[in-house]
C-alpha cells in the first residue's frame, strides 16, 4: 500500500493556472467520490487552497494512481493534461508523508509560519472523511499531520511575528497609503479570510469598514462584530466609488468585478484605489490592473511584501524539521506494524482452531463438567493465546527495519502454519498487507475493466448498481 501525492502550488505556477484546478467546497462534494472511482484510488483527500491544490491518495500501484489522479484532474476540470502537467509535482510513500507534514507545519507555505494552513489541512481531511473517502491509513496520516502542525506552532517560534494573509494584506494597504488618512475599506465576502483581514484592519489602520456578502445574515453578523457598515450584495457596486480599498475573498467561480466596471471605481479624476484579490479562482478581472490609478494585488503578490521577521522564523525551520522527523518515524512505525497485523490475526485464528480441536479431542473427559466449567476452560485457553500474541507484538515493535519485519512475519506464518486468507474473511484490515519493498502488484488480466480505462476492484464507497447484496 502506497501514499501518493499529485499537486500544484504557488512555487510551480501562478494563480491564473492554479485557479483552473481549484476545488470549491461545493465541488469537493462531487469530486471526492468521483476520484474514488478511478483505478487504484482506495482512499483520498483533496487539499484545495489559494496557494495549492494537492491530492493525497492510497493505492497499490503508484504508477496507476498517478495516471488516475492526472486523468481525474483533466476530466473533472475539462482541461487537457498538457496544460497543467508541466506544473505538477508527484511524490509517493515517504516523500508524500514528509510533504504533508511540512505543509501542515507551514514550512512549505508562501508565508512561513502562517496560521491558516493547519485548519485547511484539517478541513480537507474532515471533508473527505464525511464523504467516506478515507479509511484507516489516511485517517492515521492526517491525524498525525495535525499533531505535527500543532507541535511546530507550540514548540517553535515559527509563528512569532506574525502572520497571516490578513496581516500581509493590511501591510500592503499601509505601504500604499503611508499617511494618516482615514481609509474607506470594503470587504466583499464575510468568510474566514475576511475575518482575518478585518481583525488586522481594526488593530492597525484607522478606517471605515464596509462589508457585503451573498448571505445577508452572515454579513450582518460580521458587521456587528467589527463595527462595520453592511450593504446588500446586490447593490455593492454603488458603493465602490467611495472606497480607497476593496478586498475580495469569496468562493465565486467567476470575476465579481470586471474591466467594464472601471467607471464604478471613480478613478478617472486621479483618485487611486487598491484592489486586493485573496480568492482562488480570482474575483477581480486582471485587466483592471492596467489602469494607472488601480493598484491590483493578488495572493501571489503577497509574497513580495517585506516580512521583517522572516529571517528569525527561518531559523525555526530546523526545530520544526526535528519534530516532523520524530512524528514521521512514529507514523512509519505504525505503518510497518500493519504488515504484521494480518499475520497476528491469522495466528489468533489458528489458536482458535487448536482450541476447538482440543475441546473435541477431550470431549469425553470433559463430559462430566458443567457448561459453565467448560466455558472457564475455553476462556483460560483464549487468555493464554492472547498473552502469547501480545508478547510477540511487543517484541516486534523493537524491529525498525521493514524488511526484517517482513521476514519475521513470514517466519511466524510458517511457524504457526498460518494461511492469511483463511483467517481474513472479515473487513478488519481494509488495506491488506503493506509491501515493505515497495514492489508493484502484478497486473491481473482477469480483473474486470474499469470504465476509466484500467482495472479496479469494486470500491466499497461507491455503490455498484450491478450488484445486489444478500445478507445471511
- Catalytically active residues, by annotation: 50
Report the side by side order of strands in the sheet with 183-188: 229-230, 207-212, 183-188, 245-248, 273-277, 294-298
Q: Which of 244, 261, 120 is nearest to 191 (CA)?
A: 120
Instruction: State phi, psi for 2 to the nearest 5 degrees.
Output: -125, 145
| Cell 514528509, located at residue | 98
Distance of alpha carbon 392 from alpha carbon 399, whole angstroms? 11
Is residue 233 within 8 Å of residue 216, measured between CB atoms? yes
φ/ψ of residue 156, rounded to 5:
-130, 175
Cell representation of residue 212: 457585503
CB distance 36 to 44 below 8 Å: yes
> Cβ-count burial of 426 within 10 angstroms (0-12 exposed, 13-18 middle, 19+ buried)?
exposed
- Inter-axis angle of helices 94-104 and 316-337, to 10 degrees? 130
Residue 424 to residue 344: CA distance in whole angstroms? 11
Integer Cα distance of 242 and 265 in angstroms:
8
Q: How far apart are CA 297 and CA 283, in angstroms?
A: 11
Q: Does a cis peptide bond (omega within 30 degrees of 0) precede residue 198?
A: no
- Going by DSSP bridges, is the β-strand pair 273-277/89-92 parallel, antiparallel, or unpaired? unpaired
CB count in 10 Å sphere of residue 387: 10
User: Across the strands, what pairs with 47?
Assistant: 54
Pairing mode of beta strands 43-48, 52-59: antiparallel
Strand, coil or helix: what is 239?
A: helix
Alpha helices per DSSP H over 5-135: 15-18, 25-36, 62-77, 81-84, 94-104, 116-130
Cell numbers describing residue 141: 496520516
Amino acid at each position: 500500500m502506497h501514499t501518493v501525492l499529485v499537486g500544484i502550488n504557488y512555487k510551480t505556477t501562478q494563480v491564473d493556472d492554479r485557479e483552473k484546478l481549484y476545488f470549491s467546497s461545493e465541488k469537493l462534494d462531487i469530486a471526492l467520490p468521483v476520484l474514488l472511482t478511478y483505478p487504484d484510488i482506495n482512499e483520498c483527500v483533496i487539499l484545495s487552497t489559494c496557494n495549492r491544490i494537492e491530492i493525497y491518495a492510497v493505492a497499490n500501484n503508484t504508477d496507476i494512481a498517478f495516471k488516475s489522479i492526472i486523468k481525474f484532474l483533466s476530466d473533472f476540470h475539462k482541461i487537457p493534461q498538457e496544460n497543467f502537467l508541466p506544473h505538477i509535482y508527484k511524490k509517493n510513500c515517504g516523500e508524500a508523508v514528509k510533504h504533508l507534514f511540512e505543509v501542515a507545519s507551514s514550512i512549505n507555505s508562501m508565508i512561513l509560519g502562517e496560521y491558516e494552513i493547519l485548519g485547511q489541512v484539517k478541513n480537507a481531511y474532515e471533508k473527505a472523511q464525511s464523504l467516506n473517502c478515507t479509511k484507516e491509513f489516511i485517517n492515521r496520516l492526517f491525524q498525525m499531520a495535525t499533531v505535527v502542525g500543532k507541535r511546530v506552532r507550540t514548540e517553535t517560534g515559527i509563528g512569532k511575528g506574525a502572520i497571516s494573509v490578513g496581516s500581509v494584506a493590511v501591510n500592503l494597504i499601509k505601504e500604499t497609503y503611508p499617511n494618516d488618512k482615514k481609509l474607506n475599506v470594503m470587504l466583499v465576502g464575510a468568510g474566514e479570510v475576511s475575518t482575518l483581514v478585518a481583525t488586522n484592519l481594526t488593530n492597525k489602520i484607522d478606517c471605515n469598514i464596509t462589508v457585503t456578502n451573498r448571505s445577508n445574515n452572515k454579513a450582518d453578523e460580521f458587521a456587528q462584530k467589527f463595527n462595520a457598515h453592511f450593504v446588500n450584495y446586490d447593490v455593492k457596486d454603488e458603493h465602490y466609488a467611495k472606497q480607497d480599498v476593496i478586498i475580495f475573498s469569496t468562493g465565486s467561480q467567476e470575476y465579481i468585478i470586471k474591466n467594464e466596471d472601471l467607471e464604478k471605481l471613480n478613478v478617472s479624476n486621479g483618485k487611486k484605489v487598491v484592489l486586493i484579490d485573496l480568492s482562488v479562482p480570482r474575483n477581480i478581472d486582471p485587466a483592471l490592473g492596467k489602469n494607472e490609478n488601480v493598484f491590483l494585488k493578488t495572493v501571489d503578490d503577497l509574497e513580495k511584501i517585506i516580512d521583517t521577521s522572516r529571517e528569525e522564523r527561518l531559523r525555526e525551520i530546523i526545530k520544526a524539521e526535528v519534530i516532523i522527523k520524530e512524528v514521521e518515524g512514529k507514523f512509519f512505525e505504525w505503518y510497518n506494524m500493519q504488515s504484521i497485523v494480518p499475520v497476528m490475526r491469522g495466528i489468533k485464528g489458528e489458536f482458535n482452531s487448536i482450541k476447538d480441536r482440543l475441546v473435541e479431542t477431550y470431549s469425553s473427559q470433559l463430559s462430566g463438567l458443567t457448561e459453565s466449567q467448560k466455558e472457564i476452560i475455553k476462556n483460560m485457553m483464549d487468555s493464554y493465546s492472547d498473552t502469547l500474541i501480545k508478547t510477540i507484538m511487543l517484541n516486534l515493535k523493537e524491529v525498525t527495519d521493514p524488511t526484517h519485519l517482513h521476514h519475521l512475519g513470514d517466519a511466524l506464518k510458517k511457524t504457526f502454519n498460518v494461511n492469511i486468507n483463511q483467517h481474513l474473511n472479515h473487513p478488519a484490515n481494509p488495506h491488506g498487507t503493506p509491501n515493505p519493498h515497495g514492489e508493484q502488484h502484478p497486473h491481473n488480466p482477469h480483473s474486470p475493466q474499469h470504465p476509466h480505462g484500467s482495472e479496479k476492484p469494486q470500491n466499497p464507497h461507491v455503490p455498484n448498481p450491478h450488484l445486489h447484496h444478500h445478507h445471511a
